[in-house]
């Protein structure tokens, strides 16, 4: 590096602690004579060849490098990404885990804290197979939309790009600024930086506005040119050229550089795309080319997911495409088309599916955005990476390394407090569950029947005896205790019975939980039960195919937000009949018309209140990450865990819920003191769970705490609050599956 220029930029005070700048590692002895420190590791050069990336080590020949990558964000539980709170110990641990999974590239979107670069330098010093970096230069979507014309952002974008380059060379000090990493960057990882991918998924409206207000003059730079490009493409070429020129002048280094792109702004024509904005403009990587002075070269970098935009489902050539396995595969069909239309080597810089309980988009071949177990997530990711490689790309980068609790999804965003999202785990939200590394709330019950996990739970015992019918199922209907606990993801309830038996007969025994959170008093219960309880939500446990959570219609947030589109009679929701409860639903498609065929695809939702039976313990060989209910005959217990968002809790860390949204809107949050929980057993008459009439004042066979005078008494549970969530890290089943696929390609030298 040019130390005189560096000191001129940051000042003497800013240079304190940077004597080692330009040299790898935070524990190296600094030099200023341009001589590499002994033991620093090999020097590397990178370039883009005809089929992808290549690397040359210590002046040797260039060899192919196929990307087996993961994307690494800056958030962790309890923190927004702009807080830059990931520690050196976490980076060390995560990089080691990535290496164990045969990851050879980590992509970051913006400058991370100095700890990341120090950890990377340390990892690559101690491992023969390094982890390379694809480094981004972030620009916020809101910033782009507010600007409209991206040319007004050129100077700020260039400054940010220079800061990225200085950081990877270990040659800068960044002063604290809200929303950004800061500190002294003294670890030179430039010999591990495979290239730069700048920007984000460009909003089509911003591309269109930029092209409208600027002349189509192209760009002719020293290293990159876009001579016949649109104004937006010319702007991108200029930004890349400025960054490449800066690194060449300042550090005598050149490496590949590209910009982010996605399906919505690809150069292909998509006549089956139903939303005009999703195929209104193109940003073509081929419009930007390397000059003769730039032998490192450029490439195409696309984010490609299987479920969005709708054209991936609706285009017959994609939906009917046969992949290398002989199976229909729209994702492979699109990739084949995109690679064939792109002259540059193409990197799939993001791909993935989440292991969330909720779902946001459908894929015609089942690779949906959500509602996958961790095992299913891994199988899909492995198959997608195979698709990516079979299409002849430069490789792929999984989104993402770890789950990100701060994320939101379009169909649920209005139902939680945006200022508190990082502080709890919303398992309903697909955007939060893309990671290979998961974060389990500390103290969460394993949902496997283990009694010791419930020792500190709030508990109640029956205050009166059960109604006995002498039909052989009395012991299964006799409740001996109810226990309630919670964590940063779930409210959990355990029913303890006198004797479940080896195989519970759901035709003779059902259970019901009444959950009250709004303090609006008792309500008539559904399923023909002659009893009332303080119930905003009712859980029926009727076996694996007949269990669900339902909601008092007036407290149905789906009906308020989407009911008109769904064709609901909203009058029955504002003023519901006694004893009527509504299914809990989640919208996944608001409807559209396919242009080429005129086919109308209607509004679609799923019943997200349906409950899944299984074992929720990650250490169990029977682990089901989507399990809601576990039946344990060995401990005579039934356990239920319910996601907070399912219960209209907008922020469990502060015990805040949605208020009366019909009169005040969805953002009128209210604090709740606790949750009222009543449990009962009864005899069903049919598969719908209708209760059998019994002699007496109630047809409930047993209740905890008790059934009396036509009503169920409840147990008051006060969930704890917290400032920072306590959690543990866990490599998901999906991580192990991706590691196996990456290992297979690594062993093939691919």
Q: What is the pLDDT of residues 70-82, one digit of tens each?
A: 999 999 999 999 9
Paired tokens of 260: 């982010």
Q: Which residue has the higher pLDDT, 358 or 22?
A: 358
Q: Which residue has the higher pLDDT, 174 or 36?
A: 174
In the chain, DSSP finds a helix count (H) and a strand count (E) of 16, 43
Q: How far apart are CA 439 and CA 432, in angstroms?
A: 11
With tokens 């990650």, the residue in question is: 618
List C-alpha distances in Å: 148 to 95, 202, 282, 550. Answer: 38, 11, 16, 44
pLDDT of residue 329: 98
Q: Which of 559, 473, 470 is nearest to 511 (CA)?
A: 473
**pLDDT-based confidence at 695, cuts 50/70/90?**
confident
Q: What is the pLDDT of residues 538-559, one digit of tens each?
A: 999 999 999 999 999 999 999 9
Q: Report the interhelical angle of 374-390 vs 733-747 (nearest 10°).
A: 30
Phi, psi dihedral angles at 257 (to 5 degrees):
-145, 145
CATH numbers and ranges of domains, the chain: 64-439+727-749 (3.20.20.80), 447-551+611-649+670-717 (2.60.40.1190)
Q: What is the pLDDT of residues 556-582, one digit of tens each?
A: 999 999 999 999 999 999 999 999 999
Q: How far apart are CA 290 and CA 216, in angstroms?
A: 19
Q: How far apart are CA 748 and CA 202, in angstroms?
A: 36
pLDDT of residue 22: 30
DSSP H or E stretch at residue 211: helix 204-213
Contact between 180 and 168 (Cβ < 8 Å): no
Q: What is the pLDDT of residues 133-146, one digit of tens each?
A: 999 999 999 999 99
Model confidence at 19: pLDDT above 50: no
pLDDT of residue 40: 65
Q: How far apart are CA 425 and CA 80, in angstroms?
A: 13
Phi, psi dihedral angles at 167 (to 5 degrees):
-65, -45
DSSP letter for each residue of 718-749 = -----SS--EEEEE-HHHHHHHHHHHHHHHTT
| CB burial of residue 158 (10 Å; 0-12, 13-18, 19+) | middle
Q: Which of 575, 502, 581, 487 is nearest to 538 (CA)?
A: 581
Query: Mean per-residue pLDDT for 428-447?
Result: 97
Model confidence at 21: pLDDT above 90: no
Q: How far apart are CA 379 and CA 138, in angstroms?
A: 31
């Amino acid at each position: 590096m040019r130390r005189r220029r560096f000191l001129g930029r940051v000042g003497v005070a800013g240079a304190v602690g940077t004597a080692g700048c330009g040299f790898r590692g935070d524990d190296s002895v600094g030099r200023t004579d341009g001589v590499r420190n002994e033991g620093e590791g090999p020097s590397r050069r990178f370039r883009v060849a005809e089929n992808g990336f290549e690397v040359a080590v210590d002046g040797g020949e260039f060899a192919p490098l196929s990307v087996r990558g993961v994307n690494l964000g800056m958030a962790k539980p309890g923190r927004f990404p702009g807080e830059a709170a990931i520690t050196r110990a976490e980076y060390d641990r995560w990089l080691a885990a990535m290496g164990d999974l045969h990851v050879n590239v980590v992509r970051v979107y913006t400058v991370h804290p100095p700890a990341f670069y120090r950890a990377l330098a340390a990892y690559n010093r101690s491992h023969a197979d390094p982890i390379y970096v694809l480094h981004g230069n972030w620009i916020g979507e809101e910033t782009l939309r507010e600007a409209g014309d991206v040319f007004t952002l050129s100077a700020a974008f260039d400054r940010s790009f220079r800061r990225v380059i200085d950081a990877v060379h270990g040659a800068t000090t960044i002063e604290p600024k809200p929303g950004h990493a800061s500190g002294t960057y003294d670890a030179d990882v430039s010999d591990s930086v495979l290239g730069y991918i700048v920007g984000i998924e460009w909003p089509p409206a911003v591309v269109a506005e930029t092209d409208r207000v600027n002349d189509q003059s192209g760009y002719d730079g020293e290293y990159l040119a876009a001579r016949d490009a649109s104004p937006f493409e010319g702007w991108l070429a200029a930004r890349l050229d400025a960054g490449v020129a800066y690194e060449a002048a300042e550090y005598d280094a050149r490496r590949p550089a590209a910009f982010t792109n996605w399906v919505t702004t690809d150069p292909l024509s998509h006549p089956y795309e139903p939303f005009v904005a999703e195929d209104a403009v193109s940003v073509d990587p081929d419009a930007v080319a390397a000059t003769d002075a730039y032998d490192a070269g450029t490439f195409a970098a696309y984010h490609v997911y299987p479920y969005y935009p709708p054209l991936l489902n609706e285009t017959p050539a994609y939906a009917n495409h046969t992949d290398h396995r002989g199976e229909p595969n729209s994702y492979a069909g699109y990739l084949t088309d995109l690679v064939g239309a792109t002259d540059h080597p193409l990197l799939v810089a993001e791909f993935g599916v989440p292991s969330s309980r909720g779902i946001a988009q459908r894929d015609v071949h089942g690779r949906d955005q959500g509602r996958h177990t961790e095992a299913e997530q891994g199988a899909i990711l492995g198959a997608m990476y195979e698709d990516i490689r079979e299409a002849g790309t430069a490789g792929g980068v999984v989104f993402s390394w770890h789950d990100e609790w701060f994320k939101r999804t379009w169909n649920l965003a209005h139902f939680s407090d945006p200022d508190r999202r990082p502080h709890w785990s919303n398992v309903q939200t697909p955007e939060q569950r893309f990671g290979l590394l998961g974060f389990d709330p500390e103290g969460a019950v394993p949902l496997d029947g283990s009694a010791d996990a419930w020792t500190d739970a709030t508990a109640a015992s029956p205050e009166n005896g059960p109604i006995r019918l002498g039909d052989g199922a009395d012991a299964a209907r006799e409740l001996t205790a109810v226990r309630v606990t919670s964590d940063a993801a779930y409210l959990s309830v355990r029913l303890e019975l006198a004797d479940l038996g080896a195989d519970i007969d759901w035709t003779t025994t059902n259970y019901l939980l009444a959950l009250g959170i709004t303090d609006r008093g008792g309500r008539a219960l559904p399923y023909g039960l002659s009893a009332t309880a303080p119930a905003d939500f009712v859980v029926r446990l009727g076996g694996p195919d007949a269990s669900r959570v339902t909601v008092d219609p007036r407290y149905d947030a789906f009906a308020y937000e989407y009911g008109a589109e769904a064709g609901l009679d909203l009058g029955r929701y504002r003023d519901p009949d006694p004893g009527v409860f509504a299914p809990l639903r989640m919208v996944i498609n608001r409807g559209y018309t396919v242009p080429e065929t005129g086919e109308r695809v209607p509004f679609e939702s799923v019943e997200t209140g349906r409950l899944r039976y299984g074992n929720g313990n990650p250490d169990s060989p029977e682990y089901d990450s989507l399990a809601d209910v576990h039946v344990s005959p060995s401990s005579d217990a039934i356990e239920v865990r319910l996601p907070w968002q399912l219960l209209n809790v907008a922020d469990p860390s502060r015990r805040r819920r949605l208020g009366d949204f019909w009169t005040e809107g969805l953002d009128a949050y209210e604090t709740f003191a606790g949750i009222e929980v009543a449990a009962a057993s009864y005899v069903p008459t049919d598969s719908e769970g209708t209760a059998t009439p019994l002699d007496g004042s109630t047809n409930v066979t047993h209740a905890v705490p008790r059934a009396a005078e036509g009503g169920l008494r409840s147990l008051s549970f006060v969930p704890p609050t917290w400032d920072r969530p306590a959690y543990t890290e866990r490599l998901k089943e999906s991580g192990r599956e991706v590691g196996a696929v990456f290992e297979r390609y690594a062993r093939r030298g691919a």
